Amino acid sequence: MVTWEQATEGRIRPMPASNAAVDECPLEDWPKEAFDALTPAPSTPLVELPAEALAPIESSPGGFRLVKSSVIYEPLPPADYLVDGVIRSGSLLLLASYGGSGKTWLAIDLLVSVATGGKWLRRFDCRQGPCTLLDYESGEYEDRRRIQLVSRARKVEACELDIAPMPNVYMGDASFEHRVGELAKVRTLIVLDSLAAASPGAKENEASMRVGLDQLRRISEATGCTFVVIVHAKKTSGSKAEIDPREILRGSSAIYDAADAVLVVAYTKGKPLRLMQCKARHGVEIDSIDVELVNRDGGVAIVASAPQGRAASPNGGAWSELKTRLLDAAKRLGGMSKNALAIEVKGTRSDKLKAIDELVAEGRIALLGGVYRFANHREPPAGGA
C-alpha cells in the first residue's frame, strides 16, 4: 500500500513550520497541521497502488519516481470510467468555451450527476461519489442558485456535493498541491472554475500556464480523483474562417497538451449548444452532441440530443466494413471490454458500439462476463453482415 505522502514525496514543497498563531501568520507560512485540521485524512486510502510501482525517491537515480519494468509489462486493467465512455476516472479534462456559452451549467450538471449517480446531460451514466466545486469566479450565491436549479429539475433535494467559493489558495502557491491533494483523497470529482481565475499573475500565452494542471495530474494519479477544469476559449462569433476545435483554447498550446481530454462547447444564438470532443488521450471518442437548457419543474434541465442530420445507418458497404474491422480487432487482441474494442477502429463511437451489439447478436463476437471475444467457433453467415 502506498500512502499519499509516499506517492508525492519529493514533489511537493514542505510547508514551513511556524510558532505564530495561525490567524496572525501569512497563508504561505501556515503549518501543515493547520490544513490537516481543515480536511481530516481518511482512515483508509481511496486508491491502492502497488508499492513496487513507486520506487523510493531516495534510491532512484536523479530522485525520479521510476516505474519498474516488472510493473510496466503487467496486464493493464480495463479502463475505469467516471462518466461512461466519456470521462475516465483519475483523469484531467478541460471543458472549454467562450464566456457566457453555458460551460459552467454543463459542469454543474456533471457535479450533480456524479454526486447522485445519475446521467450527465440525461445521457451518460455516472459512477456515484462525493464532489466539490472549487469556484474562483461566480461566488457562493450564484453557485447555490445554479445548483438548486439543476437539482430541482432532477427532483434532487440533497446529495454528496459541496462548494468552495473563492478559495484562498491559488495555482502556483506553495500550499496548492498539498491542500488540493488532501481534498482529492476524499473526493471522486473536483471541478475547478476556472484556470485563468485560479492562476492570477500567470501569463496564459506562456507554457508555464500548465504548471497548475500538471499539479492536478500528479494528484489524480496518486488519488484516483477526477479533475474537470473550466477554461476560456477564443471568441469565434463573426469569424469568417472555421476554427479547428483543437486550436480554440485561449492561451498557450501547453494548456491543451496538459489534459487527458478536451471538450469544447460551441454557442450559436438561437441554436442548441454543440458539445465536441477534440482530444482523448486514452483513445475514447464521442460524437458531437447538441445540448439544450430546458426549463422544467421550476428548474433547469441540461439535456443532450444527437445533432440534427446525423444518424447511424446500418446499411451499405460502409457498415459491413466497420463490422469487419471490429471482428479483425477482436480476433487480433483477444478479450476486452466493449469500449476497448471500439477504440481499436476508426469511426463514430455510437456506430461502433451499435455494430458490436449486432456482432454479438449474430454470434460472431462472444460476450461473457463483460468481456468481448472473437467467436472462432462460428463462421460468418452467408451473404455478409
Per-residue pLDDT tens for 170-196?
A: 998 999 999 999 999 999 999 999 999
Question: What is the model's pLDDT at position 308?
Answer: 47
Give how far Cα 4 sits from Cα of 42, 212, 227, Å: 11, 18, 17
- Could you tell me if 334 and 283 lie in one domain? no
- Could you tell me if 197 and 146 lie in one domain? yes
Question: What is the model's pLDDT at position 46?
Answer: 42
**Is 137's pLDDT higher than 60?**
yes
Q: Give the whole-angstrom CA distance, residue 226 versus residue 228.
A: 7
**What's the rounded mean pLDDT across residues 266-285?**
82
Which of 72, 89, 105 is the C-terminal boundary of a domain?
Answer: 72
Q: Looking at mean pLDDT, say which of 223-232, 241-250, 320-329 comes out highest.
A: 223-232
Question: How is residue 66 written as a grid cell?
Answer: 521510476
Strands (E), 173-288: 189-193, 226-232, 261-266, 273-280
Question: How is residue 276 written as a grid cell?
Answer: 465536441
**Is 144's pLDDT higher than 70?**
yes
- Could you tell me if 249 and 128 lie in one domain? yes
Task: Tell me the backbone φ, ψ of residue 7, rounded to 5 degrees.
Answer: -70, -30
- Could you tell me if 56 and 108 lie in one domain? no
In-domain check, residue 385: no
Banded model confidence at residue 280, pLDDT cuts 50, 70, 90: confident
Q: Give the whole-angstrom CA distance, residue 355 versus residue 22.
A: 61
In-domain check, residue 38: yes
- Could you tell me if 148 and 289 lie in one domain? yes
Residues 4-18 have pLDDT tens digits of 455 445 444 343 343
Residue-averaged pLDDT of the chain = 81
Give how far Cα 291 sits from Cα of 173, 254, 304, 306, Å: 36, 28, 4, 9
- Could you tell me if 89 and 193 lie in one domain? yes
Question: What is the model's pLDDT at position 378?
Answer: 43
Banded model confidence at residue 41, pLDDT cuts 50, 70, 90: very low
Instruction: Specify whether the CB–CB gap between 254 and 207 falls below 8 A.
Output: yes
Which residue segment(s) compose the domain that 356 sits in? 317-374
- Could you tell me if 301 and 325 lie in one domain? no
Banded model confidence at residue 255, pLDDT cuts 50, 70, 90: very high
How many domains in the chain?
Answer: 3
Which of 55, 72, 89 is the C-terminal boundary of a domain?
Answer: 72
Which of 21, 40, 72 is the C-terminal boundary of a domain?
Answer: 72
In-domain check, residue 285: yes
Residue 325: give its domain's CATH number. Answer: 1.10.10.10
Question: What is the model's pLDDT at position 20?
Answer: 39
Q: Which residues contact 8 (CB under 8 A, 6 or more apart)?
A: 177, 181, 218, 222
- Could you tell me if 101 and 216 lie in one domain? yes
Q: Which residues of 106-143 are buried (b: 16+ CB within 10 A; e: fewer)?
A: bbbbbbbbbbbebbbbbbbebbebbbbbbbbbbeeeeb
Banded model confidence at residue 244, pLDDT cuts 50, 70, 90: low
Question: How is residue 216 written as a grid cell?
Answer: 492536478
Banded model confidence at residue 314, pLDDT cuts 50, 70, 90: low
Task: Tell me the backbone φ, ψ of residue 58, rounded to 5 degrees.
Answer: -70, -20
- Could you tell me if 139 and 260 lie in one domain? yes
- Could you tell me if 62 and 146 lie in one domain? no
- Could you tell me if 269 and 366 lie in one domain? no
In-domain check, residue 381: no
Q: Give the whole-angstrom CA distance, residue 115 versus residue 190.
A: 11
